[in-house]
Structure 1
């Protein structure tokens, strides 16, 4: 139970920090860059990887089977 809550909170923190940064980088699109350039740029950033790791941790914490004690 505690481990699942820990995974959920850590995953949520990673996903939020990565997601906010990805939204902030959307300003490149309004500066004249194409959306494909944005996707290519964001795929190499640490924030995108934090977002993915956070999302995966959230999914694992939700779908991991609970121990029956």
Structure 2
């Protein structure tokens, strides 16, 4: 069960991390760092990164 939680968390963290990297293109389009942070804080797919890290943590916790 813990291994499945770890793998699910890893998948979520990768999906969320890819979203963060993908949205870095907005900085090249003229968005400031504050606007970027505000934008990514409102995107539900970026929450997957943090949810994934929580799953990984609880999957590795004994």
TM-score (norm 1): 0.85
Determine the C-alpha separation between the residues in 2 that align with 1:17 and 1:56: 14
Q: Which residue of 2 aligns with 1:16?
A: 14
Gaps of 5+ in 2: none
Q: Greater helix share, 1 or 2?
A: 2
Give 1:62 deviation, angstroms: 1.1
Determine the C-alpha separation between the residues in 2 that align with 1:50 and 1:35: 21
Gaps of 5+ in 1: none
Determine the C-alpha separation between the residues in 2 that align with 1:41 and 1:55: 21
Moved over 2 A (4+): none
Q: Which structure would you say has the larger RCO, counting Cα contacts within 8 Å and 6 or more residues apart?
A: 2
Higher-Rg structure is 1
The size of the alignment, in residue pairs, is: 62
